Amino acid sequence: MGLDCSTSRKPLLDTISQEFLKKIKKKYPVANQTLKSDISPIINTPILKIKDKTYLKLESHQTSGSFKIRGAFLYFQDQPNQQIVVASTGNFAKACFYAYKSCNEETKNQSDILQQDYKQSQQIKLDEYNTPTPQPEFQEQQQQQQQQYTQDELDKSNLIIFVPNNVNRDKLKEITCPIIYAGQDCVESEKIARQYAEQHNSIYASPYNDINMILGSCTIGEELDQFFNAQNQELDFVFVSCGGGGLIGGIALYFKYLKNKGTKIIGVQPYNNAAMYNILRKKGEGKLLDTLSDGTSGGIEENAITIEICKHLVDDWVLVTEDQILEAQLKLMNEHKLIVEGAAALAYAGFMLYPIGRLSCLIVLCGSNVDPHKIMVKK
C-alpha cells in the first residue's frame, strides 16, 4: 500500500545503531517490570471484518488518556530530582504531568509549585522568548489564561511544559505545573524548549526520539504478544498510527528485535501530515497541513533514531484522508461506544483500507484526548 518494506528483517537490524539496540535489550526488562501496572485492555471486535480475529488495544484507557504515560513515567524514574523540559501539543504534556505527580508522590518529594492548591491550569508567558502576539480574537482569552512567573519560581519546578500558541487548551486544563506558550506551531515550540533546557542545564525530553519513550512502547508489544499466546493464536498484523515514530518504533522493535517474530507492523499516517512517510521516500517532510490526527502532526527531528527503526522494521504504510479519519472516529463511537482522538481513529482508518484476508490483526488506539472542536457531525 505504501513503501515496499517486505524484505527480511534480521539483516536490516545491522543498519540501526548497535549501541542503541544494546541499550534497548539491557533496559527493557527493568522498563517492563516498572510498567506492569500500566497494562491497558485488549478487546475483541466481532463486528469488524473478521469475527474473533480482530482486536483493539485500548491505550486510550491509560491514566493520562494516551500511551505516552508509559515513556513519561520512565523519564521520571530515570531522571529523579532533575528538571525536565518538554514540548507538546497536549498528550505528552498530560502524560509527563501525571508521571511527575506519581513519581513525586511516591518519593514524597513534590515541588513547591505542585504543593499549591491550583484550581485552574497556570500558563506562563516569558518575555525573553518573544512569544508571538496571538490573533485579535484570541487576545482576551490568552491574557486571562497566562500568568507571569519569576525565574526563581520556574527553577523550583521539576517539570516545565512548552506548547505552541495554537494548542488545544482543553488538553491542558488538568495540568498545574508551568506551561509556557511559545511559537506558532510544534516545531517552533520544540526549538524554544530545547533552548530553555540548554540555557538552564535542564533535561529536554523528546516525545518520541528517546529511549524511554521507545521502551515504553516496547511494553505494548509484549502485552500484545502475551495476549495472543494465551489465546493460542498468532498475531499477523498490527496497525499503528505514526507521528514521530516512538509508538510504532517501540512495537516494531519488540516483535522484530527482542522476539524476532513475523508479525507485520503497518504504519498509518494522514495524507495531510505524513512527515515520516515522506522522509522514508526521501522527499523531506513534505507539506504539513492541519489534520484531525493532531496527536501525530508535526515535523521530525533530524537524524531521529525512530527514522531508521521505521525504515527497516515497519513492513508497510497506509495514508488516509481526513474524511476517512472522521469516518473511523464516528464508527468507533457509534458501533464500539469508544470515544477516541483523531490519532487513534487514524490507525483504525488504515486498518479499514488494508487487505488482510482472513488473518488476525490488532489496531492500537493510542489515545482518547479528543478535541471537541474537531469532532464534526457527519451529514
Assigned C-alpha cell, 321: 484522508
Nearest to 6 by CA among 373, 259, 262: 262
pLDDT in the model for residue 128: 39
pLDDT in the model for residue 371: 60
The answer to whether 293 touches 369, Cβ cutoff 8 Å, is no
Residue 379 in any domain: the answer is: no
The DSSP string of 191-252 is HHHHHHHHHTTPEEE-SSSSHHHHHHHHHHHHHHHHHHHHTT----EEEEE-SSSHHHHHHH
Last residue within a domain, chosen from 156, 177, 205? 205
The answer to whether 335 touches 48, Cβ cutoff 8 Å, is no
End-to-end, the C-alpha distance of the chain in Å comes to 29
The answer to whether 362 touches 338, Cβ cutoff 8 Å, is no
Residue-range definition of the domain harbouring residue 258? 11-66+210-374
Kindly provide the b/e burial profile for residues 127-145, where b requires at least 16 CB atoms within 10 angstroms of the residue's own CB.
eebebeebeeeeeeebeeb
* DSSP for residue 91: H
pLDDT in the model for residue 115: 36
pLDDT in the model for residue 22: 94
Assigned C-alpha cell, 136: 485579535
Q: Three-class SS of residue 264?
A: strand
User: What sign has the CA pseudo-torsion 233, 237, 241, 246?
Assistant: positive
Last residue within a domain, chosen from 147, 177, 205? 205
Residue 317 in any domain: the answer is: yes
pLDDT in the model for residue 52: 61
Residue type, 161: I
Are 108 and 224 in a shared domain? no
The DSSP string of 331-363 is HHHHHH-----HHHHHHHHHHHHS--TT--EEE
Are 74 and 156 in a shared domain? yes
Are 97 and 228 in a shared domain? no
pLDDT in the model for residue 358: 84
Residue 34 in any domain: the answer is: yes
pLDDT in the model for residue 46: 62
User: What sign has the CA pseudo-torsion 336, 342, 344, 345?
Assistant: positive
CA distance 323 to 304: 30
Residue 322 in any domain: the answer is: yes
Are 152 and 242 in a shared domain? no
Residue 2 in any domain: the answer is: no
The answer to whether 6 touches 316, Cβ cutoff 8 Å, is yes
pLDDT in the model for residue 222: 96
Give the pLDDT means over successive 10-residue stretches in the chain (379 positions): 48 80 94 86 72 86 92 88 89 91 62 36 39 38 54 88 83 86 84 94 93 96 96 95 97 96 97 96 89 90 93 97 96 90 96 90 93 53
Are 345 and 304 in a shared domain? yes
Parallel, antiparallel or unpaired: strands 203-205 and 84-87: parallel
SS (H, E, C) 107-154: HCCCCHHHHCCCCCCCEECCHHHCCCCCCHHHHHHHHHHECCCCHHHH
Are 275 and 290 in a shared domain? yes
Are 165 and 96 in a shared domain? yes
Are 153 and 249 in a shared domain? no
Last residue within a domain, chosen from 186, 205, 224? 205
Are 334 and 288 in a shared domain? yes
Are 258 and 370 in a shared domain? yes
Are 102 and 160 in a shared domain? yes
Number of domains composing the chain: 2
Residue 126 in any domain: the answer is: yes
The answer to whether 316 touches 1, Cβ cutoff 8 Å, is yes
Residue 4 in any domain: the answer is: no
At a CB cut-off of 8 Å and minimum separation 6, what does 73 contact? 34, 35, 38, 95, 99, 102, 103, 216
If you count them, how many residues does the chain have? 379
CA distance 139 to 126: 16
pLDDT in the model for residue 1: 61
Based on DSSP, count helices (H) and strands (E) in the chain, helices before strands: 13, 11
Residue 109 in any domain: the answer is: yes
CA distance 154 to 261: 47
Kindly provide the b/e burial profile for residues 324-346, where b requires at least 16 CB atoms within 10 angstroms of the residue's own CB.
bbbbbbebbeeebebebbbbbbb
Are 28 and 177 in a shared domain? no
pTM (two decimals): 0.84
Distance from chain centroid for Cα 60: 11
Q: What is the CATH number of the domain that holds 160?
A: 3.40.50.1100
